[in-house]
Structure 1
């Protein structure tokens, strides 16, 4: 069954934050399907990829994909919980494992800062006319960042400046949807790490997006333990995720 509204997707997926984010409020170009407990959402140009986000029992998901993939084309990559992707990789001839990472989300504003915890100086704010500064910081601190100024879907950048006015930490409100605020492009200048700048800018962005969307989410590399520690202190919990490239030929029925 094809789903045609964000409410239908929410009902089918049990309000799963990842699926709701993929649906993007069912903006133009997004399609979704359900079968039994399985849900699949095809979202074009989401976080720089055409993404097909799935959940449910592997057999039912495979049945949904047999219908969906011929209709959406070969550019979509499967994204889901790592255990499900591992099952699909075995079941589907020609599918290829791409990589793994962590999805983290929360339905609550950031936890209060711990008493006595020393906060980094400087005021955090939404930046204006600072694309060049943000690009320079990302090139130095996070050259592989998925979010960079000028990309479609990036709404705004937040940042904090050290004494002297240099931008030393930043994070973006990017690819958010009505139900989920999404954070990307988190970076701190190498010479200013370990001082709380990154946590301050994340706290600011999480708090703003939580108020506006109800939930906040992001993706982070599995081996980026310092960043995961920051996000956990701010109330996020993780899910191991993986990506699979579907076969270029039709799946056997």
Structure 2
């Protein structure tokens, strides 16, 4: 087993795999990566709400690599990677079981236009865009960056409609929140720029108010703003989505993201 200590080493060992590049988080903040044969494992603490190990490579090489890595990081780390690889891994290791497939979706800067003009290229501003009366600058349905004073309202929206979200205004990991309001000034959709890696940014925490925001393009507007910001500084933008959530998958495909089926594993229940 050989430890990879730079992004360049990781890119070479993984053919610049976006999933492992994101998991590595620039090999900063406690993330570590190892390789053996053609297999690679990247362990990252508290990544999108969990201690995770992104894995890649032929299972024959991955099995002995995990034998060395798991004792180093602890049993609480969950391996994840391409679904076929995880299925084979769990059939070969009695101590692991799959925990459910999900989608990794990603895109680069070329493709479906997201935003035009200044909003497409600028970085996340320090403040939000609320005018007098609680309406967003730009009118109903316009996405903007939430100010710190609006984050409690965003948290309430998430708690009502997506309490399982790993991205949350009251937890670490999020760089900035985008939001959309309706004509009455209600916050109807949010999306987060979260857990960014140097070459892969993550869209997360996409939530829409089921009563006032669904079917009006508000979630799409928030996603476009976040994706444009990510692609203004990184070569790739990505997200994770439940495989059963077909409306969300269709939305993200319309925004130019391509689907890759992943799976996660955990220690087998006693």
Counterpart position of 2:241: 220
The answer to whether residue 260 in structure 2 is matched with residue 239 in structure 1 is yes
CA contact (8 A) 1:124 1:159 kept: yes
Secondary structure (helix, strand or coil) at the match of 2:216 reads coil
Quote how far apart the aligned CAs of 1:110 are. Answer: 5.8
Aligned residues: 242
Which residue among 222, 241, 249 is the counterpart of 1:201?
Answer: 222
The answer to whether residue 147 in structure 2 is matched with residue 146 in structure 1 is no
Distance change (3 Å), C-alpha of 1:134 and 1:143: same
Counterpart position of 2:90: 89
Q: Deviations over 1:127-149 (max 9, x none)?
A: 00211110111122222212111
The answer to whether residue 187 in structure 2 is matched with residue 186 in structure 1 is no
Secondary structure (helix, strand or coil) at the match of 1:212 reads coil
Quote how far apart the aligned CAs of 1:246 are. Answer: 4.0
How do 1:111-190 residues align onto structure 2 when only pairs under 5 Å count? 111-112=112-113, 121-128=140-147, 129-190=149-210
Quote how far apart the aligned CAs of 1:97 are. Answer: 1.7
Secondary structure (helix, strand or coil) at the match of 1:130 reads helix
Q: Deviations over 1:38-60 (max 9, x none)?
A: 11000011011110110111111
Counterpart position of 2:132: none
Quote how far apart the aligned CAs of 1:214 are. Answer: 1.5
Secondary structure (helix, strand or coil) at the match of 2:233 reads helix
Q: Deviations over 1:158-214 (max 9, x none)?
A: 001111211111001111111111111101111221111111111111111011111
CA contact (8 A) 2:141 2:221 kept: no
Q: Deviations over 1:199-249 (max 9, x none)?
A: 11111111110111111111111011111111001110111111111469x
Counterpart position of 2:125: none
CA contact (8 A) 2:51 2:77 kept: yes
Normalization by structure 1: what TM-score?
0.91
Q: Give the Cα separation in 1 of the matches to 2:12 and 2:246.
A: 34
Counterpart position of 1:251: none
Q: Give the Cα separation in 1 of the matches to 2:141 and 2:261.
A: 34
Counterpart position of 2:100: 99
Which residue among 211, 215, 222 is the counterpart of 2:232?
Answer: 211
Counterpart position of 1:57: 58
Q: 5+ residue gaps in structure 1?
A: 114-119, 249-253
Q: Give the Cα separation in 2 of the matches to 1:245 and 1:144.
A: 18
Normalization by structure 2: what TM-score?
0.86
The answer to whether residue 75 in structure 2 is matched with residue 74 in structure 1 is yes
